[in-house]
Structure 1
């Protein structure tokens, strides 16, 4: 069992440590850390639930600037620490790995995804992305995914190879995204598109590039405040019929973010995932940090029929996101020192994008966000837990059928993601 790494706070790494039960209640004492333009310096607060976690990316301080949704464990032992080694009877790093995630969500372990390309859109450059991905895949016995064999490709937001400047916080996000696609869909190809900065305009340009390069599945593990510009962003960047676009719902509990609120995307909420004595062998409950709620700007898509929001409701589906039941990730850029445990809806969004890829190419002209609504029986319903206070409403509380934090539920195979 590899030891849990406690990365240092300092240098140019973006950090803010948060409480798992009150992720939105950040301490006000600022740490002396550098942050990209438009982002605040990180701040710290006590641990809870046995682990301490930190945001990889600092909160935006300007409108239309996004933050990644990766949370990494900095101290304590997650409940998922020994899950992979218990399941595979082999030494494994702390946190859920491919065998655990495939078992929990009934995903095909050796079939599906061949020939499919999942695109990852993030800001800034991770110079170690391909090398770190190789370590992850080798650890779990997955086939190599490299530039040389055509499985991996990295481009900038316009499709070129002049990459943006490196950023250690977003590099953690990139490692998390690449590893989660690999875990759920080992046979998928991976396209990493790096935006020049974390503005919605640059990230949106990267989304368009991913689609233009042929990706039918595009994962976006970032978000920021909604704004009156969202309808313009919708039409400019996210209206891609026949392409499954997934977006993290957020890590601050009850409340909506963009682009998860876009009517054209699959908004992915978060759960706590644990083994259980049920026939499934696993159980998901609402993760307290998962974002949910009513959009202030985006119209309700025709396939969404809940009555609590006049406009778009977040989320649609979900997967594991609780850092206390977190996933194993390998990252070595700058202060990162190897194997770490991550959570956040940054974990669930690429897992769902890879599940769409396992299900096969969406039909021409379709909006894949609608697919789960036509196949609700092919999801595991999440019926307990809460991400905040909204008078007991389904918008912040797990319940039978649709609810805000987990949407229609978590994958039970791939049938809910076909159409």
Structure 2
């Protein structure tokens, strides 16, 4: 991760960023991205967690990690908030990690900031477009389409960092002046913005850069929620839609709760809009809002060059027992009509996938918390990539749910089937293990052109 941002106001159950936690450097061993509960296929929390960590230790770790923490682990969170273990991690070791490690009798993981480099070391736009059969479409499609990026807090350098990324890779300018880029608060204001936060700024940079890399001709709308609660992030999603975005990427998540179905109705039920959500970076286990039946849940892969016809190969992203793509069977959300796997009676995560492994990560330019080029991974990378693919494919019909589109081309050459790797241990194999056809970690696979993302 990057250096820690200033401490935020303490709030019950803030939701965490997903992908920028996964930072790739050769000398850095990452551990402990697991800020969401490893809940299994469909096992909701039904009682309070008994902490085995002293209050002094918790206070010290909260101070070091700059996270908001509460020890109130009720089964049903207060309205507008995620469950207590959905923490936004920005560095160090969180109290939740300390607690979970103590319960398991293991040492807690520690997330460290990485060092920025003078030049990019990860995949750039040409790599992403090549890997997913998008080179021709990226050159000609996307004009007039708007991808919305929803994140929490403000990145004061968002416009300048986006300009630097696009300039380096030879992409056309995307600025406020030429109408390509716009940044607003969840109320739609361009002047009254949330408090700045260097941790979320890195997430914002990743999201903006991946949308640019995938759909260089698209306009980009950044909607900044006041804070990392579902109420505020959900309001930001609604704002993006009211401002005209037909593609909305969300790179955040947390543990499921019984409130999720009401969140579905309030924030994610937008026919005619492709809403993508990161599946999570804490290995096997269902998260929300990836579990919403109205969104495209996006898993993560390890993307590597290969001497085959495609030129690339992919496996499930799993770095360690605590770091890898999320997946699983929802405990609360109903199964959408287009999802036909029989092992999970409710919503299954994921639908599709894209590159997420920080070891084969993407280049990002960030100067608010970092000092230039960094290489990131996580499903925060894959969500805006898939949003960009939808945008290249064209505006969905007004009554459609674009999450269903890949299912109409399931098992065809329109998707790269990922058949190897796993993200943990599960009793129903396809929940956590890749295989021919549909599986939880990678869904139906990764894009091979636009066919699977058109209505």
For 2:437 and 2:90, how far apart are their aligned partners in 1? 26
TM-score using structure 1 length:
0.84
For 1:64 and 1:195, how far apart are their aligned partners in 2? 20
CA contact (8 A) 1:220 1:350 kept: yes
Backbone CA RMSD of aligned residues: 3.0
The one of 307, 316, 320 equivalent to 2:355 is 320
CA contact (8 A) 1:65 1:200 kept: no
SS in 1 for 2:432: coil
1:164 aligned residue: 194
For 2:248 and 2:357, how far apart are their aligned partners in 1? 22
1:168 deviation in Å? 0.7
For 2:114 and 2:309, how far apart are their aligned partners in 1? 33
The one of 140, 149, 152 equivalent to 1:111 is 140
Q: Which moved more, 1:62-71 or 1:117-126?
A: 62-71
1:308 deviation in Å? 1.3
CA contact (8 A) 1:242 1:362 kept: yes
1:218 deviation in Å? 0.3
TM-score using structure 2 length:
0.78
CA contact (8 A) 2:35 2:87 kept: no
For 2:172 and 2:419, how far apart are their aligned partners in 1? 37
1:30 deviation in Å? 2.9
SS in 2 for 1:149: coil
The alignment status of 1:365 with 2:399, answered yes or no, reads yes
Q: Which moved more, 1:107-116 or 1:162-171?
A: 107-116
2:277 aligned residue: 247
For 2:359 and 2:22, how far apart are their aligned partners in 1? 14
The alignment status of 1:147 with 2:157, answered yes or no, reads no
Gaps of 5+ in 2: 9-16, 24-28, 37-52, 72-80, 92-109, 319-323
Change (3 A) 1:22 1:405: farther
CA contact (8 A) 1:72 1:343 kept: no
Aligned residues: 382
1:17 deviation in Å? 8.2
SS in 1 for 2:287: coil
Change (3 A) 1:61 1:245: closer
SS in 2 for 1:160: coil
For 1:366 and 1:200, how far apart are their aligned partners in 2? 24
CA contact (8 A) 1:398 1:404 kept: yes
1:292 aligned residue: 327
1:44 aligned residue: none
The alignment status of 1:195 with 2:225, answered yes or no, reads yes
CA contact (8 A) 1:65 1:199 kept: no
CA contact (8 A) 2:366 2:374 kept: yes
For 2:34 and 2:184, how far apart are their aligned partners in 1? 34
Change (3 A) 1:9 1:404: same
1:364 deviation in Å? 1.5
1:391 deviation in Å? 4.0
SS in 2 for 1:127: coil
2:373 aligned residue: 339
1:236-263 C-alpha deviation (Å, 9 max, x unpaired): 0000000000000000000000000000
| 1:4-23 superposed matches below 5 A | 8=3, 23=33
SS in 2 for 1:153: strand
Q: Which moved more, 1:6-15 or 1:380-389?
A: 6-15
The one of 296, 303, 326 equivalent to 1:273 is 303
1:278 deviation in Å? 1.1
1:3 aligned residue: none
The one of 260, 263, 279 equivalent to 1:233 is 263
CA contact (8 A) 1:123 1:195 kept: yes
Change (3 A) 1:137 1:39: farther
SS in 1 for 2:441: coil
1:375 aligned residue: 409
